[in-house]
Amino acid sequence: MPETIADFIKQDLKARLRSGAGLPDKLTLAALSEHYRVSFTPVRLAVRELIQERVLLRQDNGRIEFNALSRNGAEVVAPPAPPAEPHDVENTLIAEIIRHSLRGESTYLREEVTAERLGVGRTVLRQVLNRLAGQGVIEHLPRRGWRVKLFNEAEMNAYLQVRESLELKALDLARPRLVAADLKRMLWGNRAAPSGERLDNDLHRYLIAKADNGYIRDFFERHGRYYTMLFDYAAPEANVVRAMARQHRVILRALLAEDWKTARQALARHIRAQRPIVQRLLRKLASS
């Protein structure tokens, strides 16, 4: 069984390429990231190793193609099972990190103590910590541990300004690549239901992937994870979830109707709505 998600993607890609089944038409980082529903980092690692093994070939124009010669004499095996990882380790860590961050606590997460407290091995924990460090959520300091990123409201406001500009640009670039079935799926994921409002945040990742712009992707890969976790942590109340799902529905219906003006306006309002949610959480923490 593969030990990491990058190992799993590599083995799965190799098996699927040689059997000719179940992969996107274009072997791009964006398409593969969307296929495996992960960030670019493990996909990039898997593709790099497959290029080294000449299962994949990088053309002069930078495109990646399957090397059909690698199929000759190669045993075709079934795709592997995803790597086993202790349930909720990353989510538990994320909640702790955000709490420390919002309270201004420059806390260090030491591997041995944290692994014991969470009941996982240090290898698995280090994978999670490295992933979070790569996304700018924590910082690794040799011989001292992993330091939590401190919340800074001015930085959050600056991030939201840039996010709004780039996500609106992503929407514009994505227009010719939007798939009605995908939009309807996300609309269904944000439906109002008797058991409670459903919230599906795939819309933002989808627009960025469909924009197919490396600079936009790079910004959200480098800076987006921390703020995504922050906004998710700050918005657990039912009324907030209901409002966010409703905002998503407005955007998605406008996209389906190709009403680009309404879609852009609704997306901008939705992004700006993140700031007061965090500010309410900060006031609650201060009062407690």
| DSSP conformation letters of 35-84 | HHTS-HHHHHHHHHHHHHTTSEEE-TTS-EEE-GGGGTTPPP-PPPPPPP
The token duo for 155 is: 């930085």
Pick the CATH number of 153-287 from 3.40.50.410, 1.20.120.530, 1.10.357.10, 3.40.50.2300: 1.20.120.530
Provide CATH 1.10.10.10 ranges for the chain: 5-71, 89-148
Strands 138-141 and 145-148, sheet pairing: antiparallel
142-166, pLDDT tens digit by residue? Answer: 878 899 988 899 999 999 999 999 9
241-251, pLDDT tens digit by residue? Answer: 889 999 999 99
Least-confidence region, from 3-7, 32-36, 40-44, 82-86: 82-86
Torsion sign (Cα): 78, 42, 233, 158: negative
Question: Which residue has better confidence, 72 or 191?
Answer: 191
Mean pLDDT within 232-258: 89
Separation of CA 197 from chain center: 22
Q: Per-residue pLDDT for 283 more than 50?
A: yes
Provide CATH 1.20.120.530 ranges for the chain: 153-287
Other beta carbons within 10 angstroms of residue 187's beta carbon come to 18
Query: Minimal CA–CA distance to 249: which of 162, 194, 176, 191?
Result: 191
Q: What percent of the chain has pLDDT over 70?
A: 88
Q: Per-residue pLDDT for 194 more than 80?
A: no
As a whole number of angstroms, the distance between CA 39 and CA 223 comes to: 13
Geometric angle at alpha carbon 284, from 280 and 288, rounded to 5°: 170
Q: What is the reported pLDDT for 86?
A: 47
Q: What is the reported pLDDT for 1?
A: 44
Pick the CATH number of 5-71 from 3.90.700.10, 1.10.287.980, 3.40.50.2000, 1.10.10.10: 1.10.10.10
Mean pLDDT within 112-116: 81
| CATH code that applies to domain 89-148 | 1.10.10.10
Q: Per-residue pLDDT for 240 more than 90?
A: no
Mean pLDDT within 56-84: 70
Let me know: does 66 contact 248? Beta carbons within 8 Å.
Answer: no
Q: What is the reported pLDDT for 223?
A: 87
Let me know: does 73 contact 18? Beta carbons within 8 Å.
Answer: no
Mean pLDDT within 33-44: 77
HEC secondary structure over 88-110:
CHHHHHHHHHHHHHHCCCCCEEC
